[in-house]
Amino acid sequence: MAEFTVETQFHYAMVRKLYEGGMGIVYEAEQLGAQGFVKRVAIKVIREHYAKQKLFIDNFVGEAKLVADLIHTNIVQTYHLGEARGVFFIAMELIRGVNLEQFQQQLSDKHRALPKDLAVFIASRIARGLAYAHAKTDRDGNPLGIVHRDVSMKNILIAFEGDVKLTDFGIAKAKGFLTDQEGEVVAGKADFMSPEQADFKVTDKRSDLFSAGVVLAHLLLGYNVFKANTPEESRQRIISMPIPDFRTLHPEIDGRLNALLQRLLERELSERYQTGEEVLHDLEVYIYGSGYGPTNETMGKFIRDLFGQNVPQKSTLTKGGTDVLEHTARLAKPA
């Protein structure tokens, strides 16, 4: 098939800083195109301190390549990997909303409780996104073996429309993409790790399901039962603390939901949920089994009311004005 090459230039005008992490910064930006075209996106940039380190560059590029074909309603979509002024960046779907950590903090600040069915609904959407990612194959149909390894409150977003999105595959592992010395180093947030992850063991998709269980328990209780004063103490609690009977910790948690949590947080891998599809099924049976249950619209109404329908704007560009990244790409298209 004949091909021709189109050379195009992407212009991204930075609007404001959204989030600063340990190794990267995320901005809201405008993608500018021909004839006044404007699309709001999120731009993830490596911090300057790490921008010259090959390991971080390789992992950043690996993340972009890994998630490029993860197109799912419960996963933040990646649009473009670029390089400008020697800096790599990823253009992603912009989510108008908050992460679960901000969501939980707002609940606490306003002395509000998250309804049980909405907590289960959020967890079901996480399971849905994980099921898709875990089952992803390459172009030849070979399983990629994706494991997120950082399913936590900060990496789950809720849009003000009610959509739940899993994000940040920065430390995910998958065949042919991101690699590290698993078994020698530990990656992820200590109080959301699986026992095998916390114990420096090799992980598979069941590790993400344990982490999803920690998130669900956190949403139901308003706190993380494994969180301690230090990351090391949290890891030890993940490994050895007796899993509580959650019915004794919250009156809204019944026997069915407690059993579901017990299986998600099972330390014996063979006894834990084996797939995201199984988790999704049981969560949805729980909230929809007797009839009508929560939807994106229900979730959206709750979060808009909680936040007064406004997107928090806590930071802006430090230099003032608008910075612009320009990137020229050559796109090959079939005739």
User: Residue 212's domain is classified under what CATH number?
Assistant: 1.10.510.10
133 plus 268 within the same structural domain: yes
**Token pair listed for 73:** 């309603």
pLDDT tens per residue across span 258-313:
999 999 999 999 999 999 999 999 999 999 998 899 999 999 999 999 999 755 54
Question: For residues 254 and 321, which has the higher predicted lDDT (pLDDT)?
Answer: 254
70 plus 189 within the same structural domain: no
20 plus 114 within the same structural domain: no
212 plus 157 within the same structural domain: yes
For residue 331, the model assigns a pLDDT of: 41
For residue 289, the model assigns a pLDDT of: 93
Q: Which of 38-47, 131-140, 238-247, 301-310 has the highest mean pLDDT?
A: 238-247
The CA distance from 203 to 172, in Å, is 11
Band (pLDDT 50/70/90 cuts) for residue 6 is: low
Mean pLDDT of the chain: 86
For residue 319, the model assigns a pLDDT of: 37
CATH number at residue 15: 3.30.200.20
Average pLDDT over residues 128-148: 91
Backbone angles phi, psi at 327, to 5 degrees: -145, 130
Q: Which of 46-55, 192-201, 257-266 has the highest mean pLDDT?
A: 257-266
- Phi-psi sector, 252: left (phi>0), alpha (psi -120 to 50), beta: alpha
For residue 329, the model assigns a pLDDT of: 44
pLDDT tens per residue across span 141-172:
888 889 998 999 999 999 999 999 999 876 66
For the chain, percent of residues with pLDDT exceeding 90: 58
Q: Does the pLDDT value for residue 95 go beyond 70?
A: yes
CB 192 within 8 A of CB 208: no
DSSP β-bridge partners for residue 324:
13
150 is an active site residue: yes
Has residue 333 been placed in a domain?
Answer: no
Which of 138, 150, 168, 208 is catalytic? The answer is 150
**Token pair listed for 5:** 């090459």
Band (pLDDT 50/70/90 cuts) for residue 115 is: very high
Q: Does the pLDDT value for residue 110 go beyond 80?
A: yes
299 plus 156 within the same structural domain: yes
Has residue 320 been placed in a domain?
Answer: yes
Query: What's the domain range around 180?
Result: 99-306
CB 100 within 8 A of CB 215: yes
Q: Does the pLDDT value for residue 47 go beyond 70?
A: yes
189 plus 216 within the same structural domain: yes
Q: How many domains does the chain have?
A: 2
Q: Does the pLDDT value for residue 330 go beyond 50?
A: no
- Would you call 218 exposed, middle or buried from its count of C-beta atoms within 10 A (0-12, 13-18, 19+)? buried
